[in-house]
C-alpha cells in the first residue's frame, strides 16, 4: 500500500511514508467519516431493534421469573425450597451435574486430542458424530436409552437379572445428561487444539518430559481457557436439561425428579409461585455461569488473545 | 573441561558427540522424502543442512532428533546406536522454527522447563536450576527479561530464549530448524553472528537447517546440500562454492546463466564459434552446459572470452550494472562494472571467465 504513495524512483523510508499518510488523513478527517460508518438513522433503527428484541425475549422473561417467584412474599418463596421434594430435586440436579460434567471433561479432551493430533480413517465422521446430540431432539435421545436399558430394552433382561436400575434411576439420568452435553467441551477444544498443532508438545518431549508431563504442563495450560469455557457451558446445560431426562427419569417425586422436572410438575399442579421459585434458582445458576464466563474472559482477555494469536 | 575442537578451533562442550547417519530413508505414503542419506558430523562441528523447500532437510533433522523415524537406516550419536532411542533418551537440544515457547511460562520458567521436569532423583535442586537459568539468560544476553512472557518479546528475543531452553538440558547435540527463518533481514544478520559466537563458546555439535545459501556459507564449518531427498554435496563453504559437484549445487549457490555448448578436442564451441575459454583437463568431448557466474566474469574488449552485447546500463550503490546479452543466445547476464570503465549501451564486449564451469548436458 505505502508504495503507491511514494514516488517510484525516490527511495523513501517507511517512517516518512507513514508520516505523509497521517498528514493526509488529518487533512481529510473533518470532511469524511470512516467508510464503514452508517448514516445516523441506520444506526438508530438497528440499535432500537436489537435492544427491543433483547428486552422482549430475554430481559422480560427473566424478570418475570423473579417477580412471579417473589409475588406472594419472601416467606412463600423460601417455603418452596423447604419442601423435601424440592430439596431432593436440587440435590439430584447437582449430583447429576457433578458426575456428568467431569465425565464430559475427560471425554471431550480425549475426543479433541484424537481429532486434533492424529490422522485416522473416519475422522470427519467422528467430528460429525460429536455434533449429533445438538441435532437430535432431546426426547429422541432419551428414548434411545429407554430402548437400550429399559425393561423391554436390549439390556433390560440382563439388568433386571442383576438387579441394576438404570432407567427411572440416577444412572439413566446421568447417561442422558452426558449424551446431551457431550459436544460442549469437545466443540470448544477441537478448533483450538487443531490450531495449536503439536510443536509445543514436541518441544516438551525434546526437553525430556514424558508424554503425561507434557500433557499436564504444556497441553493443558494451552487449552485451559477453552476447556473452562466448555465446562461452564456443559454445566449450564447439565443443570437445565429437560427433554432427555424427562424420558428416562419417570418423574418419580423425591426420587428421580431433577429441578427442571420438578418445576414442570409444580406448574402443572397450579403451584405457580413454588414453580417460579425453583425456576428462579435455576435461572440464577445460569446467570452465575454467564457472569463467571464474563469475568474469566475479562480477567484473562490477554491470555486468551495470546493463546490464539501468533 | 572444554577442549579444542578439531572442527572449528572452538571450545567443545563436555559430553557433546558426533552424529553419523547411515542410509537414512523416509517414505511419506509413497513419496520418498529421503532416499538414502549418509553423513558424518564431527564432535563440535557446526553443519548446515541446505536445500530448497521440499528437499527433505527438515525431515532429516527431525529424524536425527527422534521427532520422526526413518523408514530405513541408522542414526549414531558418537558410537551409540540411537536409531531406536526415543526423543527423550536422545538428549538433544532442538530449536523449532517458530520457537515453540511455552506461552504460559515466563522466560526463566521456559528455560528451566527441561530441568524441572526431570524425575525427582535426577532433578537438580531449585537453587541449582535457578543458577543454571541465570547463567543461560546471561549467555544469550536476555538480562532483565527473565520475568517476561513470550508474547512480550520480539522475534529475535524469542529465538534466544528457545536456544537457551535447548541448551539448559546440556544436550549431546544441538539441532536448529530454520533458526532465523521467521526474522527480518537485519535481525537475521545479527543473530547469525551471535549464534556463531555462542557455538564458539559452548562448542556443541550443531546442525541447523536453512534454505538461505548466505546463511549456510557464512555460519557453517561444513555445508550439506540436499535436493529431492538426496545429498548432493558435503564440504566446507569454500569447497562447495569453488568446486560444486553438480549443476544443481552450482545453480543453487547464487545466480548463474547456463548456455548449451559443445566440447570438441579441448575447445569449447558456442553455436559453432570457438570460445576463448579453456575447459578443465579431462573434459570429455560432446554436448555440455557452461555455467556463468556474474561475479566470476570480467568485462573486456570484444574478442576475449565469450562475446556479448550491452543491453542496458544502470547506476547502483557500488558502481554500475551492465546487462549483457550473450552472443548466439537469449541469455542475459548482469555484470558489475566500475564507474570509470568506458561503456555504453550496444557496445560489444567480451566476458572473460575465471573458470569454465562445464557439466555434461
B166 contact residues in A (CB cutoff 8 A): 206-207
Residue A21 pLDDT > 70: no
pLDDT at residue B299 in the model: 86
Helices A84-117, A123-130: crossing angle, 10 deg rounding: 160
Confidence band, pLDDT 50/70/90 cuts, at residue A306: very low
- Of A21-25, A86-90, A241-245, A284-288, which gets the smallest average pLDDT? A21-25
Residues 6+ apart with CB under 8 A from A287: none
Interchain CB distance below 8 Å, B87 and A206: yes
All three cell numbers of A83, joined, read 419442601
**Is B16 in contact with B201 (CB distance < 8 Å)?**
no
- pLDDT for B187: 84
Confidence category of residue A28, pLDDT binned at 50, 70, 90: low
pLDDT score at B183 = 82
Mean pLDDT of the region A278-289: 90
Pairing relation of β-strands B46-50 and B222-227? Answer: parallel
Tell which wins on pLDDT, B289 or A165. Answer: B289
ipTM: 0.84
Which helix or strand (DSSP H or E) is residue A23 part of? helix A14-28
A-contacting residues of B 125-184, CB under 8 Å? 149, 151, 165-166, 168-169
Instruction: Give the pLDDT confidence score for residue A24 in this predicted structure.
Output: 63
Please name the residues in contact with A261: beta carbons below 8 A apart, sequence gap of 6 or more. Answer: A89, A242, A245, A246, A249, A251
Query: CB contact, 8 Å: B88 with chain A?
Result: yes
Scanning chain B, the segments in alpha helix (DSSP H) are 57-65, 87-90, 107-116, 126-139, 155-168, 185-202, 213-219, 237-242, 247-252
Residue B200, Cα to own-chain centre: how many angstroms?
18
Share of chain B above pLDDT 90, in %: 57
pLDDT value, residue A15:
67
Q: Is B203 left (phi over 0), alpha (psi -120 to 50) or beta?
A: left
Question: Strand B332-337 relative to strand B320-326: parallel, antiparallel, unpaired?
Answer: antiparallel
Of B100, B104, B169, the CB nearest to A208: B169
Give the model's confidence band at A30: pLDDT under 50 very low, under 70 low, under 90 confident, else very high.
Answer: low
A-chain residue closest to B165, CA distance: A207
Percent helix, strand and coil across chain B, each rounded to 5? Answer: 25, 35, 40
Local structure of A105: helix, strand or coil: helix
Dump strand ranges (E) for chain A: none
DSSP 8-state class, residue B56: S
Query: Looking at residue A6, what is its pLDDT?
Result: 41
pLDDT tens profile A144-159: 888 888 878 788 888 8
Of the candidates B88, B96, B168, the beta carbon closest to that of A203 is on B96
Tell me the pLDDT of chain A averaged across its residues: 84
Residue A113 has pLDDT above 50, yes or no: yes
Res A23: pLDDT:
66
Which of residues A220 and B330 earns the better pLDDT score?
A220
Q: Which residue of A206, A224, A310 is in closest CB contact with B65?
A: A206
Which segment of A116-125, B54-63, B152-161 scores lowest on mean pLDDT?
Answer: A116-125
Q: Looking at the partner chain, which of B66, B98, B117 has a beta carbon nearest the beta carbon of A207?
A: B117
Chain B contact set for A300 (CB, 8 A):
none
| Residue B54: pLDDT over 80 | yes
Q: Which three cell numbers stand for residue B38?
A: 549418509
Average pLDDT over residues A76-83: 87
Q: Is B85 exposed, middle or buried (0-12, 13-18, 19+ CB in 10 A)?
A: middle
pLDDT exceeds cutoff 60 at A305: no
Residue A69 · residue A277 · CB < 8 Å: yes
Looking at residue B44, its pLDDT comes to 93
Question: What is the mean pLDDT of the segment spanning A7-26?
Answer: 59
Q: Give me A166's grid cell.
A: 438404570
Q: Where are the alpha helices (DSSP H) in A197-300?
A: 199-206, 211-214, 220-240, 243-249, 259-268, 272-299
Contact criterion met (CB < 8 Å) for A222 and B104: yes
pLDDT exceeds 80 at position A16: no
Tell me how far CA of residue B11 lies from CA of B15, B137, B198, in angstroms: 12, 20, 10
Given 3-state DSSP classes, what are the helix, strand and coil percentages for chain A, each rounded to the nearest 5?
75, 0, 25
Enclosing H/E stretch for B268 = strand B267-270
A308 pLDDT more than 50: no
The verdict on a CB contact (< 8 Å) between A208 and B67 is: no
Which of B67, B91, B104 has the CB atom closest to A202's CB atom?
B67
Rounded CA gap, B237 and B288, in Å? 26
pLDDT, tens digit, 9 for 90 and up, residues B174-199: 999 999 887 888 888 888 888 898 89
User: How far is Cα A1 from Cα B189, in angstroms, rounded to an integer?
Assistant: 27
Q: Name the β-bridge partners of B283.
A: none
Tens digits of residue pLDDT in A120-139 = 888 888 888 888 888 889 89
Q: Does the structure show a pLDDT above 50 at A3?
A: no
- Comparing CB atoms, the residue among A205, A302, A303 nearest residue B88 is A205
Q: Count the Cβ atoms, other than its own, within 10 Å of residue B187.
A: 17
pLDDT at residue B2 greater than cutoff 70 = no
pLDDT > 50? residue A171: yes
What residues in B contact A208, CB-CB < 8 Å?
A: 88, 91, 114, 117-118, 169
pLDDT at position A5 is 42
In terms of CA atoms, which chain B residue is nearest residue A200? B100
A185: cell is: 467441551
| Cα first-last separation, chain A | 23
* Range B145-152 average pLDDT: 92
Look at B103 and A202 and tell me if their CB atoms are within 8 Å. Answer: no
- Banded model confidence at residue B82, pLDDT cuts 50, 70, 90: very high
Residues in Cβ contact with A25 at an 8 Å cutoff, skipping those fewer than 6 apart: none
Cβ pair B165:A205 closer than 8 A: no
Which of A44-48, B14-18, B219-223 is least confident? B14-18
pLDDT at position A9 over 60: no
Rg (CA), chain B: 25
Q: Are A152 and A145 in contact (CB under 8 A)?
A: no
| Residue A7 pLDDT | 43
- For residue B105, give the nearest of B64, B24, B162 by alpha carbon: B162
Inter-chain CB proximity B102 and A203 less than 8 Å: yes
Mean pLDDT value across residues B92-103: 94
CA distances from A293 to A94, A193, A221 (A): 19, 20, 18
Output the CA angle B135-B136-B139, nearest 5 degrees. Answer: 90
pLDDT at A251: 81
Highest mean pLDDT among A162-166, B273-277, B332-336: B332-336
Mean pLDDT of A240-249: 90
Using the beta-carbon criterion (under 8 Å), do A200 and B98 form an inter-chain contact?
no
Distance from CA of A301 to the nearest CA of B (A): 13
Amino acid at each position: 500500500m505505502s508504495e503507491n504513495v511514494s514516488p517510484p524512483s525516490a527511495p523513501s523510508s517507511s517512517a516518512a511514508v507513514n508520516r505523509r499518510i497521517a498528514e493526509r488523513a488529518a487533512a481529510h478527517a473533518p470532511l469524511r467519516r470512516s467508510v464503514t460508518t452508517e448514516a445516523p438513522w441506520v444506526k438508530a433503527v438497528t440499535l432500537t431493534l436489537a435492544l427491543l428484541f433483547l428486552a422482549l425475549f430475554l430481559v422480560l422473561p427473566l424478570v418475570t421469573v423473579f417477580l412471579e417467584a417473589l409475588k406472594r412474599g419472601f416467606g412463600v418463596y423460601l417455603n418452596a425450597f423447604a419442601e423435601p421434594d424440592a430439596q431432593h430435586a436440587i440435590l439430584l440436579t447437582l449430583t447429576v451435574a457433578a458426575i456428568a460434567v467431569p465425565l464430559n471433561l475427560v471425554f471431550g479432551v480425549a475426543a479433541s486430542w484424537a481429532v486434533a493430533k492424529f490422522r485416522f480413517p473416519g475422522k470427519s465422521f467422528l467430528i460429525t458424530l460429536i455434533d449429533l446430540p445438538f441435532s437430535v431432539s432431546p426426547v429422541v435421545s432419551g428414548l434411545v436409552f429407554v430402548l437400550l436399558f429399559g425393561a423391554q430394552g436390549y439390556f433390560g433382561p440382563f439388568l433386571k437379572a442383576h438387579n441394576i436400575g438404570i432407567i427411572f434411576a440416577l444412572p439413566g439420568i446421568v447417561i442422558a445428561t452426558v449424551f446431551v452435553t457431550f459436544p460442549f467441551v469437545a466443540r470448544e477444544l477441537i478448533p483450538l487444539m487443531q490450531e495449536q498443532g503439536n510443536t509445543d508438545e514436541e518441544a516438551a518431549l525434546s526437553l525430556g518430559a514424558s508424554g503425561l508431563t507434557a500433557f499436564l504442563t504444556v497441553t493443558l495450560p494451552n487449552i485451559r481457557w477453552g476447556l473452562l469455557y466448555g465446562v461452564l457451558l456443559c454445566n449450564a446445560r447439565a443443570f437445565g436439561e429437560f427433554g432427555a431426562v424427562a424420558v428416562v427419569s419417570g418423574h418419580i417425586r423425591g426420587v428421580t425428579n431433577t429441578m427442571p422436572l420438578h418445576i414442570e410438575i409444580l406448574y402443572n399442579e397450579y403451584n405457580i409461585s413454588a414453580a417460579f421459585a425453583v425456576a428462579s434458582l435455576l435461572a440464577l445458576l445460569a446467570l452465575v455461569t454467564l457472569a463467571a464466563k464474563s469475568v474469566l474472559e475479562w480477567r484473562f482477555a490477554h491470555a486468551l488473545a495470546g493463546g490464539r494469536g501468533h | 573441561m572444554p577442549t579444542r575442537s578439531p572442527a572449528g578451533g572452538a571450545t567443545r562442550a563436555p559430553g557433546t558427540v558426533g552424529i553419523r547417519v547411515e542410509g537414512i530413508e523416509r517414505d511419506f505414503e509413497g513419496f520418498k522424502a529421503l532416499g538414502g542419506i549418509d553423513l558424518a558430523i564431527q564432535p563440535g562441528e557446526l553443519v548446515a543442512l541446505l536445500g530448497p523447500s521440499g528437499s527433505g532437510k527438515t525431515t532429516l533433522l527431525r529424524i536425527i532428533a527422534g521427532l520422526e523415524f526413518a523408514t530405513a537406516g541408522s542414526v549414531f550419536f558418537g558410537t551409540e546406536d540411537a536409531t531406536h532411542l526415543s526423543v527423550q533418551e536422545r538428549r538433544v537440544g532442538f530449536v523449532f522454527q517458530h520457537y515453540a515457547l511455552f506461552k504460559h511460562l515466563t522466560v526463566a520458567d521456559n528455560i528451566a522447563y527441561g530441568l524441572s521436569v526431570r524425575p525427582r532423583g535426577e532433578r537438580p535442586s531449585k537453587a541449582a536450576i535457578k543458577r543454571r537459568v541465570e547463567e543461560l539468560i546471561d549467555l544469550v544476553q536476555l538480562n532483565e527479561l527473565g520475568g517476561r512472557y513470550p508474547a512480550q518479546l520480539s522475534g529475535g528475543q524469542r529465538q534466544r530464549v528457545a536456544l537457551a531452553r535447548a541448551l539448559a538440558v546440556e544436550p549431546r547435540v544441538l539441532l536448529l530448524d530454520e533458526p532465523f527463518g521467521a526474522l527480518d533481514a537485519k535481525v537475521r544478520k545479527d543473530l547469525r553472528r551471535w549464534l556463531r559466537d555462542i557455538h564458539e563458546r559452548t562448542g556443541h555439535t550443531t546442525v541447523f537447517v536453512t534454505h538461505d545459501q548466505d546463511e549456510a556459507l557464512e555460519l557453517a564449518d561444513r555445508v550439506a546440500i540436499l535436493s529431492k531427498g538426496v545429498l548432493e554435496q558435503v564440504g566446507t563453504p569454500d569447497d562447495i562454492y569453488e568446486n560444486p559437484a553438480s549443476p544443481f549445487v552450482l545453480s543453487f549457490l547464487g545466480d548463474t546463466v547456463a548456455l548449451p555448448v559443445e566440447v570438441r578436442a579441448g575447445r569449447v564451441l558456442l553455436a559453432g564459434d570457438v570460445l576463448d575459454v579453456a575447459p578443465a583437463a579431462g573434459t570429455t568431448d560432446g554436448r555440455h552446459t557452461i555455467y556463468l557466474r556474474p561475479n566470476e566474469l570480467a568485462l573486456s574488449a570484444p574478442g576475449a572470452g565469450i562475446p556479448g552485447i550491452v543491453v542496458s546500463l544502470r547506476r547502483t550503490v557500488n558502481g554500475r550494472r551492465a546487462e549483457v546479452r550473450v552472443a548466439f543466445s537469449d541469455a542475459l547476464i548482469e555484470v558489475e562494472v566500475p564507474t570509470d570503465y568506458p561503456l555504453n549501451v550496444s557496445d560489444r564486449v567480451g566476458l572473460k571467465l575465471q573458470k569454465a564451469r562445464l557439466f555434461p548436458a
